[in-house]
Structure 1
Amino acid sequence: MSTDQRTRAPGAGRGAVLGASTIAALGGLLFGYDTGVISAALLYIGPAFGLDDAMKQIVVASLLLGAIAGALAGGPVVDRLGRKRTLIVVSAVFTVGALLSAAAPGPGVLIVARVLLGVAIGTSSLVVPMYIAEIAPPSVRGRLVSMNQMMITIGIFVSYLVGYAFADSGGWRWMLGLAVVPSLAMLVGLFTLSESPRWLLAQGRTEQARAALVRSRGAHEAETELAEISEAMREERKFSYRDLFSPRLRPAVLLGVAVAATNQLVGVNAVIYYAPTILQQAGMGDSAAILSSVGIGATNMIFTVIALLLIDKVGRRPLLIGGTGVVIAVLFGLGALYLLPTVEGLGILLTVGLMLYEAAFAASLGIAIWLINSEIFPTAVRGKAAGIGTMTHWVLDFFISISVLSIINAFTATGLFWIYGVFGVIGLVFLYRNLPETRGRTLEDIEQSLRGGSS
């Protein structure tokens, strides 16, 4: 390679990495859209199919059952098939699920379609950040991996806008079916991407891995990184699922589970799935409740972008610890609002509180879950290990989604928000004691520090 090529390759390569990350992150946009669109659609699906609260929760939670299956199967599949081919399959399933849910003649078919979408979401939530983390240079890895979370929030926001656009007509089939547009765009775009160099090296395809790294790093940096990855993989070739719970890997696994659990147990998806229902119960009309949820979704998206800009400057730990503390405070405040005498404008106060909650969550737990789980595990077992954290996320998400209305009926909305606040306190204490700073460090360096029990 000429000196000129060595000089120009990194800049051009980083542009290619950004393009590849954007295409892969469309999986995050679909994750957000298919997750968020049900909040508005549910207001119309319920009357259309004659659903009670229990059946509404089942329709919502069916997606999460699929996501659990996707997260469980995704780890072994992505390690066997590779990151790119797995994402191609995922985008095809997204397309089928969107079309089927839009055409559903009854709740049974709709539930099957949402299970399919859940499988795609669960797998993509594992593979997308993993793929981006493995192709990105360490200096911008945080921002690029966090693009996945940004796309999730954009997907949620767009789903709220679409819900509001079809609110007057009650067009829930259009709300669900429009997900086919980004899924087809993702499917086409994926065929232009290269495979992850780390996965290629794990398969013994050294020259292809070297070529992929040279395109994004330049020759000298590529050789250095190739040597680091090779050395780490030589030590890790015999890892199995059982080894994930060995003293060597247990700190990283526990940390991945703790971040995922805290992310869910503060109740974010109770807000995403049921915000219009909660606001409707506080006295808002259907359109007003959906419009308020648009503001909540916009806040989520804006503060995700802010966190994206800060994550490689401020670091993971300050954002995660500080933001989680604010989330907890707001949860207790939201619960207290319901103890006040009934006043006009309660819906507005709740909307403001939920926007503050989403702002703090987006800048902390929201952006951290996928980034931390993509950074802390060894290369050879990253699919299996990250799958445990991802599965934790989806299992708890399922229990959240299927219990929100029941908890409100049993313990009131105050009890709901305060339960989430208590879980948040427990998670914050664990993360404060165990979360290392991963900013600007290679994946192999992070692995070594966690293996040694050092934060």
Structure 2
Amino acid sequence: MNRSPAPSRLRSGPATGGRSLAFIAGISSLGGLLFGYDTGIISGALPAIAGAFDLADTGKQLITSAIIVGAILGAYSSGHLSERLGRRPAIIVAAAVFAVGAVLAAVAPEVWTLGIARLVLGFAVGLAAQAVPLYVAELAPPARRGGLVVMFQLAITVGILAAYLAGYALDESWRWMFGLGLVPAVVLLLGMLSLPESPRWLFTHQDPGAARTVLARIRPDQAAVDAELGDLAETSAASDHRGLRALRGRWMRPALIAGIGLAIASQITGINAIIYYAPTILGDAGFGRSAAMLTTVGVGIVNFLMVAIGVRLVDAIGRRRLLLVLLPGAVLSLIAVAAVLMLEPAPQGAARWVVIAGILGYIACNGGSLSVVVWLAGPEMYPLKVRSVAVAVSTFAVWFFDLLVSLTTLSLTSALGTTGTFWLFAGVNALAFLFVFRFVPETRGRSLEDIESALRAGTFTAMR
């Protein structure tokens, strides 16, 4: 273990005093709000951008997907940055990049500059998506970890909803839509300057004293601090391997299968296809622009409400059970939409309401399960010494498959039709349910060190 001299303790960050864990999670989760806003704003801005720059479907998909390419680059870099600099500095870097990207997008004189701005914003999104859940998970106690980490996903839904409302209110003013992202970026940057570093990063990169100082401010008593430090010392001594090399161990495979599998499922089950292209898909199904945009706002509201409920349920009933209860509802909702569109390609009257209810039901069940768990799973399941790089791999998987979805959704809809696309997503959601049933264990109420011990003992998948 690398032990620095006593003065290095100052690098743990300013004192938090009476600040609660909820406050720490709330400030850092502004990275999630920016994530949601900058990915969701394209839904309302895209029609105006297409008109301003005369874009066809290919151009629209490239502008939409530029943020995801940037997110892949951010995810690729995030493991190194959060491991070398620390979790907190990585979030500060992300906030600064968010601010630069928002300004650049707002003043873009032509489409290539806008594409570069979206790429910059994506880098910040990819970095925040890895660093924020990792940071909060390493600060939170087992009993509250799920809800505190899921605040990141809740903030994403707030950002998406804010993007939809901005798109509806500002209509054709797409530059203002992008520029508004500067405000939360500045708040995140300033807020993170007052928060502490992760005690687990401090334990492995500086010394136990620095970790103890932070834990003493966020744990209820000295006994809890001593117990946590004892667990940290035991798991930290179990392996000296770091980085991608350590991920090749056979004992790591169950966690990688579960974590990366959930990352992939969170994208290919279709939720971001709806978030990115809802107005376009609904327009193809015969909805007018106003009705399509209002339905899209409804998507954002339902997504937010279900994740807000998930913040409570993820610790109350568990991660695995939440997935197994809600994913069948997502399948049935998509089947209802596909069946109506198959019978009535341009639905009217009651059929139109069934389509709207089905889309909102799907968002409720998928957003309240996979979207809640995906950013929590990696930071919980992966061992301490490889956690940052393993979470980066999962985050990379999220964005790689998100890129595939965003690049192919409009083309897929053209090839299969709107009806066929919904049938396809229904089948994929059913496969996601089977995957969770077979490979994803229950981690509710277990410390990060207990989960790592189960992984090393070969009992990881037996946790129920």
Report the TM-score, using the length of structure 2 for normalisation. Answer: 0.93
Q: CA deviation at 1:166?
A: 0.9
Whether 2:242 is the aligned partner of 1:225: answer no
What does 1:177-188 correspond to in 2, within 5 Å?
177-188=179-190
Aligned twin of 1:4: none
Written as runs of structure 1 = structure 2, the 5 A alignment for 1:258-407 is: 258-341=261-344, 342-345=346-349, 347-407=352-412
Partner of 2:73: 69
- Equivalent pair of 2:70/2:122 in contact (CA under 8 Å): yes
Q: Name the CA shift for 1:279/1:343 in 2 (closer, same or farther; >3 Å).
A: closer
Q: Residue 237 of structure 2: which of 234, 253, 256 is its match?
A: 234
1:202 counterpart residue number = 204
Distance 1:339 1:435 in 2: 34
- Determine the structure 2 residue equivalent to 1:52: 56
Deviation at 1:265, TM superposition (A): 0.9
Distance 2:448 2:42 in 1: 37
Q: For residue 152 of structure 1, what is the aligned residue in structure 2?
A: 156
Contact 1:245 1:253 in 2 (8 A): no
Are residue 90 (structure 1) and residue 94 (structure 2) matched?
Answer: yes
Q: Percent identity among equivalent residues? A: 41
Measured against aligned partners, the alpha-carbon deviations of 1:37-65 in whole angstroms (never above 9, x if no partner) come to 10010111111110001110000011100
Instruction: State the partner residue of 1:9.
Output: none
Measure, in 1, the Cα distance between the counterparts of 2:98 and 2:352: 35
Q: CA deviation at 1:444?
A: 1.0
Q: Name the CA distance, whole Å, in 1 between partners of 2:189 and 2:80.
A: 22
Post-superposition Cα deviations, 1:77-124, rounded to whole Å, max 9, x if no partner, equal 100010111111100000010111111111101110001111100110
Deviation at 1:421, TM superposition (A): 2.2
Alignment of 1:134-149 (within 5 A): 134-149=138-153
Change (3 A) 1:347 1:106: farther
Structure 2 letter corresponding to 1:224: A
Q: CA deviation at 1:73?
A: 0.9
User: Aligned partners of 2:31, 2:352: CA distance in 1, in Å?
Assistant: 33
Q: Distance in 2 between matches of 1:85 and 1:380?
A: 18
Whole-Å separation in 1 of the counterparts to 2:421 and 2:218 = 48
Deviation of 1:163 (Å)? 0.8
Compute the displacement of 1:15 (Å). Answer: 4.5
What are the ranges of 5 or more consecutive residues in structure 1 without an aligned counterpart? 1-11
Tell me how far apart the structure 2 counterparts of residues 267 and 67 of structure 1 sit (CA, whole Å): 18
Alignment TM-score, normalising by the size of structure 1: 0.94
Q: Is the 8 A contact 1:251 1:453 kept in 2?
A: no
Aligned twin of 1:8: none
The match for 2:8 is none
Out of 249, 253, 267, the position equivalent to 1:250 is: 253
Partner of 1:424: 429
Specify the alignment match of 1:192 in structure 2. Answer: 194
Aligned alpha-carbon RMSD (Å): 1.4
Aligned mates of 1:435, 1:80 — CA distance in 2: 30
The 2-side partners of 1:14 and 1:413 are apart by: 53
Letter in 2 for 1:420: F
SS at match of 1:339: helix
Contact 1:146-1:370 at 8 Å conserved across structures? yes
Aligned-partner Cα distance in 2 for 1:432–1:180: 42
CA contact (8 A) 2:235 2:453 kept: no
Q: Which runs of 4+ in 1 moved over 3 A?
A: 12-15, 345-349
CA distance in 1, matches of 2:364, 2:435: 22
1:367-403 deviation per Cα after TM superposition (whole angstroms, max 9, x unaligned): 0001111100111110111111111110000000010
User: Quick check: 1:98–1:177 contact (8 Å CA) kept in 2?
Assistant: yes
In the alignment, the residues of structure 1 paired with residue 19 and residue 89 of structure 2 have an alpha-carbon distance, to the nearest angstrom, of: 22
Write the distance in 1 (CA, Å) between the matches of 2:67 and 2:354.
31
**Contact 1:236-1:378 at 8 Å conserved across structures:** no
CA contact (8 A) 1:270 1:400 kept: yes
The answer on whether the counterparts of 2:285 and 2:347 sit within 8 Å (CA) in structure 1 is no
Distance 1:263 1:132 in 2: 21
Q: Could you tell me whether the CA contact under 8 Å between 1:282 and 1:347 is conserved in 2?
A: no
Pick one of 412, 423, 446 that aligns with 2:451: 446
Larger displacement relative to structure 2 (278-287 or 198-207): 278-287
Aligned residues: 442
Deviation at 1:137, TM superposition (A): 1.3
